[in-house]
Amino acid sequence: MPAETAFFPRTPTPRHALDLLLEGNRRFVDNVQTNWSLRDQVGDTTEAPFPFATVLSCSDSRLPAEYVFNQVRGEIFSVRVAGAVMNEDVLGSLEYACQVGGSRLIVVLGNTRCDVVRTACSRGTMGDLAGVLARIQPAIDAVANALDRAITPEAFVERVAREHTRRQLRTILERSPILARLHAEGRIGLVAAMYSVESGEVTLFEEHFTDLAVAPTESLVVA
């Protein structure tokens, strides 16, 4: 059992962890000032932090998870990589956060106006970024094949960003037996969400929680 911080005294359920993040994002959007002592956070998390949630997001400089969700030091395990793409290192980090660190929730967080997705859509490439862009290509193909009318390039990029985020979420359960087991046991939940760089608001569009009274694979699409 992971240790708990002074800022979060009780172990949350996966759904409670999501509520805490959404409440924090509302504070962020509403510009509600918090008075947590930064120095106290350092001392209280030195020995054993308790990251109740894990956020996989793009390395976009506008997307620091602790600010977006208005959480204190030690409460979010943050995994950041260009395009929020899934690879073995990212998946291993998520497994560590939940199996060892005790996180109850994984959030795959895409964002609007994502320059990495825009670069992939424009067939751009550079050096080792080519591998990152290649992992976004399946979402590009899926959106292009589903279109029944012409849309603007910007609208296309936004649809691809959302579809890519959805696919990364589902890849977690498909590729990680460890996380699939934790999910089936009801120990973790997973959600896909988009962060608006215009408003600061986080919007959920897919949830995967296990209610032990129903089938473990049940999921809920909320938007």
pLDDT attached to residue 49: 57
Cα pseudo-dihedral 112, 114, 120, 121, rounded to 10:
40
> Domains of the chain, with CATH numbers?
14-113+169-208 (3.40.1050.10)
pLDDT digits (tens, 9 = 90+) for 163-182: 999 999 999 999 999 999 99
CA atoms lying within 13 Å on the CB side of residue 180: 9
Mark the ranges of the chain whose per-residue pLDDT is less than 70.
Answer: 1-11, 35-49, 212-223
Task: Give 1-32 as a DSSP string.
Answer: -----TT--SPPPHHHHHHHHHHHHHHHHTT-
Q: What is the pTM of this model?
A: 0.84
The one-letter code for the residue type at 77 is F
In contact, 84 and 115? CB cutoff 8 Å: no
The one-letter code for the residue type at 206 is E
- Distance of alpha carbon 105 from alpha carbon 108, whole angstroms: 10
Conformational region of residue 111, where left means phi above 0, alpha means psi within -120 to 50, and beta covers everything else: beta
pLDDT digits (tens, 9 = 90+) for 45-77: 445 557 999 999 999 999 899 999 999 878 999
pLDDT attached to residue 19: 95
In contact, 86 and 190? CB cutoff 8 Å: no
Between CA 12 and CA 23, with CA 17 as vertex, the angle to 5 degrees is 125
Helices (H), ranges, 109-211: 115-121, 129-146, 153-175, 177-184
What pairing do the DSSP bridges indicate for beta strands 189-195 and 202-208? antiparallel
Conformational region of residue 201, where left means phi above 0, alpha means psi within -120 to 50, and beta covers everything else: beta
